[in-house]
Amino acid sequence: MYKYNEFDEAFLAERNAQFRAQVERRIDGSLTEDEFKPLRLMNGVYLQLHAYMLRVAIPYGTLNPNQMRTLALLAEKWDKGYGHFTTRQNIQYNWPKLRDLPDMLDALGEVGLHAIQTSGNTIRNTTADHFAGAAADELTDPRPYAELIRQWSTDHPEFQFLGRKFKIAITGSSADRAVIKAHDVGLQVVEQDGKVGFKVIVGGGLGRTPMIGQVLREFLPQADLLPYLESVLTVYNVLGRRDNKYKARIKITVSENGIDTYRAMTEEAFMAIRGQYDGTDQQLLEEIKTHFQAPEFRSAPTDAFDAAYANDPVFRAWADTNLHAHRAEGHAIATISIKAHGQTPGDATAEQMRVMADLAEQYAYGELRISHQQNVILPHVHKNDLPAIHATLKTHGLATANIGLISDIIACPGMDYCALATARSIPVAQEIATRFDELKMEHDIGHLQIKISGCINACGHHHVAHIGILGLDRAGVENYQITLGGDATETAAIGTRTGPGFAYDEIVPAVERIVEVYMAQRDSAEETFLETYRRIGMEPFKAALYPEAQKKVA
């Protein structure tokens, strides 16, 4: 894991001291809100419906146990005892007070965490595959590149006033767990002729105009990463629209100008910029890479795991859903669900955070990950430790066996917290999870991703959900539109709307009807919801959702 050097520490301390002074000047009246707002946003401080909100970056989703304990400390000391993990590998605190925010940032700084550029029209937290450095199917750990991008983009003077926010995601695997095709820039580490480089995707995004990213470069040599990214951003700064906020994201720039024009201009800029890089960035990258060396995985029998798996059905159910193949023999990646049925997706209490930190320290080589799917991961676990881990998780409400299932729902904060929201998302997620838990169907249903956004900005990734739900305000009443067939992986697709929306009390029954159609139509238990949808299309689902409309046609 990356460890701050003296420069990083001094930079962050100075930045936090600046913000402390800015807060004081706002309180004593020297700064107006108009002057203060951009300053607080640069440091992750929003004002939401009921209170301030602090959004802390978890770079490439990686935490060490002490960092997790500090997140717990913030929750306990300055908030209401919990934190909310988001779809962009951030954690949000919903109840801080203005005077406490500088202290919170200082506490974060002590463990190498910050809230810089978690808001505003800048390059945001670079997200990564949450199984990075651990997955069996990975080519190489993408996190050193993400750290390089973090250092390059933090306070970069040219990119502090972009036309709009800019999000980068990176994966080192061909199985995309980082939704790289729905980011402004998506990077996939690839290999060509024995050399490491990147496939560069540009112009993806969700929000009011969802688009799947397009390939800008099939292969970019490793050494060209920063000059090329700088070229992409430079072209965006020139071509990107600043006249209309809703047309300002790079997806619109690429789509209005065409990918070929965008590519030609990027390559031209690249020719000029490339020479400005003298190799210092590559030296830095080599140094960063030393921080990300894999732990020395131990070699041991897996008898305790095998016995628990054979004899304990509860453990077996958890192992079947929450484990993923690790690259080291005898090891597994364990996902801890923070989506117990009926709970708020992505929320963890201070106590739960400490339990997970302790488990990481004791069993997981000191590493934790946060996924964009709002769960926590122990990326490196020897299988023989899993029964003990599971036993501890059970006593803290963390052993829910639902990863990838219908109750593993992504939900944005929605109207319960967010000033931009047009409807609630959290209670809808809670009710769907509770309902399918009561039906005892979810393991039978299998892999099915529901994602819920409480407004058109799509923080809940509803466009790329198998079943997407979008909450809107229709004449002063909450109304929910459904999309089907979205896909957040390497076969990314935007879902298709079923038709008219549903009232708040109709949305759970509507989801149930969709699932009933799938269960009746699937050709075997192995055919997933998405596969069935792709085979049979929208019509059978529409017929079940809108029986009245069908009658009229008949």
Partner 1 sequence: MARAFTPKVITANDLLEGDVIYFTADNTWTRNLSEAELITDEAEAQLRLIEAEKQNIRIVGAYLADAKAGPNGPEPTHFREEFRRTGPSNYFHGKQEAEANV
Interface positions with partner 1 (CB under 8 A) = 26-27, 29, 32-33, 47-52, 80, 94-99, 344, 415-417, 424, 426-427, 430, 473, 476-478
CB of 49 or CB of 328, closer to partner 1: 49
CB of 49 to partner 1, least distance (A): 6
> CB of 414: closest distance to partner 1 in angstroms?
9
Distance, CA of 453 to CA of 472 (rounded, Å): 9
Nearer to partner 1, 80 or 327 (CB): 80
Q: Closer to partner 1 at the Cβ: 37 or 274? A: 37
Minimum distance between the CB of residue 344 and partner 1, rounded to whole angstroms? 5
Query: Are the C-beta atoms of residues 236 and 219 closer than 8 Å to each other?
Result: no
399-432 exposure pattern, b = at least 16 Cβ within 10 A, e = fewer: bbbbbebbbbbbbbbbbbbbebbbbbbbbbbbbb
Least distance CB 70 / partner 1 (angstroms): 22
Pair of tokens at residue 43:
């440091």
Q: With beta carbons less than 8 A apart as the criterion, state whether 503 and 479 touch.
A: yes
Indicate the residue among 33 and 243 with the shorter CB distance to partner 1.
33
User: Cβ distance 204 to 176 under 8 Å?
Assistant: no
**Shorter beta-carbon distance to partner 1: residue 203 or 471:** 471
Question: CB 498 → partner 1: shortest distance, Å?
Answer: 24
CB of 374 to partner 1, least distance (A): 14
The candidate with the shortest Cα–Cα distance to 97, out of 51, 42, 46, is 51
| Tokens standing for residue 20 | 């402390």
DSSP helix/strand/coil, 99: helix
Which residues is 487 bridged to in the sheet? 493
Helix axes 303-311, 313-322, angle to 10 degrees: 110
Cβ 474 to partner 1, closest distance in Å?
A: 11
User: Residue 275's CB: how many other CB atoms inside 10 A?
Assistant: 9
Angle at 201 between CA 200 and CA 207, to 5 degrees: 150
Taking the least distance from each CB to partner 1, the nearer of 48 and 160 is 48
**Bridge partners, residue 468, by sequence:** 451, 483
Residue 295 has a CB neighbour count (10 Å cut-off) of 15
Q: Between 49 and 136, whose beta carbon lies closer to partner 1?
A: 49
